[in-house]
Amino acid sequence: DSVRLYCLDNATKIAKLLTMEEFREELLPIVVTCAKDPRAWRVRFAVADHIASFAEEVDDPQSRQEFMEVMLILFKDTEAEVRSSAVCNLPKFSLCYDKQEIIEKIIPQFSVLSQDTSQHVKGAFVEILCKMAEILGEDDSITHIVPTVMHMMNKDEILEVRVSLLENLGMINTVLGSENCINHIVPLLKEYSEDKQWRVKLSIVQVIPQIAELVSESEFETHLSPIILNLMTDSVFSVRKTTLEIFLELASKFGNQWLQTRLIEKFRDMSNHTNCTFRLAVLLNLFECITKFSPDAIRNDIHPTLLKLSHDPVPNIQFNVAKLIMQHHYVLDHDLLTSELIPRLREMRDSMDSDDDVRYFSMRCLDICDPSS
According to DSSP, residue 331 is labeled G
Provide φ and ψ at 371, rounded to 5°. -55, -30
Report the C-alpha gap between 128 and 205 in whole angstroms.
22
Q: Convert the pLDDT of each residue in 92-135 to its tens digit.
A: 999 999 999 999 999 999 999 999 999 999 999 999 998 999 99
pLDDT in tens, 130-175: 899 999 998 999 999 999 888 888 877 788 888 888 888 877 888 8
- State the pLDDT at residue 373: 62
- Name the residue among 261, 164, 167, 179 with its Cα closest to residue 214: 179
pLDDT of residue 323: 95
The span from the CA of 205 to the CA of 224, in Å, is 10
pLDDT digits (tens, 9 = 90+) for 3-14: 888 888 888 888
What is the arithmetic mean of pLDDT over 180-200?
Answer: 90
From CA 111, how far away is CA 84, in angstroms rounded? 15
Q: What are residue 235's phi and psi, to 5 degrees?
A: -75, -15
pLDDT recorded at residue 231: 92
C-alpha span between 200 and 206 (Å, rounded): 10
Please state, in angstroms and rounded to a whole number, the distance separating the CA atoms of residues 338 and 181.
Answer: 51
Question: pLDDT tens, 255-302?
Answer: 888 889 889 999 999 999 999 999 999 999 999 999 999 999 999 999
Residue 74 pLDDT grade (very low, low, confident, very high; cuts 50, 70, 90): very high
CA distance 253 to 212: 8
Q: How far apart are CA 247 and CA 254, in angstroms?
A: 10
Quick one: which of 73, 152, 80, 49 has its CA closest to 110? 152
Nearest to 306 by CA among 214, 326, 25: 326
Whether the Cβ atoms of residue 160 and residue 119 lie closer than 8 Å to each other: yes
CA quadruple 216, 218, 219, 225: dihedral sign: positive
Model confidence pTM above 0.85:
no
The 10 Å Cβ neighbour count of residue 249 is 13
Q: How far apart are CA 367 and CA 370, in angstroms?
A: 6
SS3 content of the chain, % helix, strand, coil (to 5): 80, 0, 20
Nearest one of 293, 278, 294 to 243, comparing CA atoms: 278
Report in angstroms the alpha-carbon separations of 186 from 173, 264, 371. 10, 25, 53
Share of the chain above pLDDT 70, in %: 100
| Mean pLDDT over the full length of the chain | 90
Packing angle of the helix pair 80-88, 119-136 (nearest 10 deg): 20
Predicted confidence (pLDDT) per residue in 209-262, tens digit: 988 888 888 999 999 999 999 999 898 999 999 999 999 999 888 988 888 988
As a whole number of angstroms, the distance between CA 322 and CA 312 comes to 12
Torsion of CA 40, 106, 145, 206, to 10 degrees: 30
CA-to-CA distance for 7 and 5, rounded, in angstroms?
5
